Structure 1
């Protein structure tokens, strides 16, 4: 894979400094998994049991912290796109990349928020996206040529699809964390040509809908929008 995502080798740290760095990163990962990217240096310091000055010395900015936390995940994401791009069947490649990308984001809330541009994202995330976009463009062209993708779907539809599915993933994270799979399958069937696949999972029941998208109105009926 390309080295464009890389940030270079870190200098060697003293053992105590390396321990503090590891504690800071572990604490930040746990906080982000629970609260997303809206965490402060003070919160990280408290969770890591280090002084806030130590956090700032290691990671002067949030971007520096996020780049360190998500470097490997972004490398995996780029590699996933490149691997999919090498598959012979372009539609299978699109399906594989979309499902694996969302599986990775479902397992890492911070990565999902970073990729949808929360707080502007980071240069590292933008470089990763710039490496993925040409792969998607090639896959779309190949799928059109093979007659597997609707002719009126273009590469720039995919970022919108990602935004849509990320909203589902965020809403269902606590209630039914795998529900996004069903709606990704709905979207993929909608943009494909030919035979449809059976959808994974089951439709949410009325009580789940109430919890997922805004509860119930005064008449006791489920509201479709907040």
Structure 2
């Protein structure tokens, strides 16, 4: 064997470099969730407790960091869906995934902004649909076969219904960060078969004052010239 033509194995990160990368990713996930994608790499470095140069050595720009955080989030969701498919109770498996997706969207401002921030996002993340959609289809099929899901519900409805709850969460976020759970329960009641008992609505609705404050936060008045 000619040593000159033998490819060297990929170098592993040093322990301290690996720790720094993990701290950067955890800080970025938290900041993107709380503040959206407006945060800078400087913000991430401060939150991670590392120097800005350390962040730039690992990620050339913010888009690279966004992509890695997004891929990590999607990988977690894919694992969640696969676990739910192993639940012997088809309705419990379906609702676990639905609640997970709704909670993730409701509490993670940056997740919904990714497609707007990255120009080639649809092509870059085509694998998301390829990995998660078949698993969601299995969840829907299992629930339908077990007779716990009303007729006519399609796998594509799952993603639309999650988006509906996420929009409610975004609207109410300035005044109530948990009210989305009420509407998630209403949505699930609407898609379950008549033979399945309804869950109680444990989260109260927004009152008129809260709705007005939420509207004001979403649509602040423009300054008149």
The alignment's TM-score, normalised by the length of structure 1, stands at: 0.72
Residue 196 (1) aligns with residue 198 (2): yes
1:32 corresponds to which residue?
32
Gaps of 5+ in 1: 1-8, 216-226
* Matches of 1:38 and 1:168, distance apart in 2: 22
Which structure: greater helix fraction?
A: 2
Alignment of 1:210-221 (within 5 A): 210-214=212-216
CA contact 1:106–1:112 (8 Å) conserved in 2: no
Contact 1:82 1:135 in 2 (8 A): yes
Kept after mapping to 1: 8 A contact 2:165/2:180: yes
Give the corresponding residue for 1:64. Answer: 64
Partner Cα distance (1:28, 1:159) in 2: 25
The offset of 1:196, in angstroms, is: 2.7
Supply the RMSD in Å over aligned alpha carbons: 3.2
Write the mapping of 1:129-144 to structure 2, written as runs, cut at 5 A: 129-144=129-144
Kindly provide the CA deviation profile for residues 167-196 of structure 1, in whole angstroms up to 9, marking residues without a partner as x. 122223342211111101111111122143
**Residue correspondences, number:** 203
Q: Which has the larger radius of gyration?
A: 2
**Structure 2: how far apart are the matches of 1:138 and 1:27?**
34
In the alignment, what sits opposite 2:3? Answer: none
2:208 maps to 206
Larger mean CA deviation between 17-26 and 183-192 belongs to 17-26
Corresponding residue for residue 4 of structure 1: none
Secondary structure of residue in 2 paired with 1:137: helix
Matched, 1:11 2:9: no
Aligned match of 1:50: 51
Aligned with 1:77: secondary structure?
helix
Residues 162-221 of structure 1 show CA distances to partners (whole Å, capped at 9, x for unaligned) of: 211111222233422111111011111111221433223111111111122347xxxxxx
Deviations 1:77-133 (CA, angstroms, capped at 9, x unpaired):
11211111122332222112111233344454434544xx34245878653443221
More displaced stretch, 124-133 vs 56-65: 124-133
TM value normalised by structure 2: 0.72
> Does structure 2 conserve the Cα–Cα contact (< 8 Å) formed by 1:67 and 1:122?
no
Report Cα offsets for 1:38-68 as digits up to 9, x if no partner: 33345545666734x5533321243421244
Measure how far apart 1:142 and its partner are.
2.4
Q: Distance in 1 between matches of 2:11 and 2:157?
A: 38
Query: Where does residue 95 of structure 1 map in the other structure?
Result: 95
Contact residue 148 and residue 193 of structure 1 kept, 8 A: yes
1:143-173 Cα offsets, whole Å, 9 max, x none, are 2223322222211111111211111222233
CA distance in 2, matches of 1:151, 1:94: 15
Counterpart in the other structure of 1:170:
170
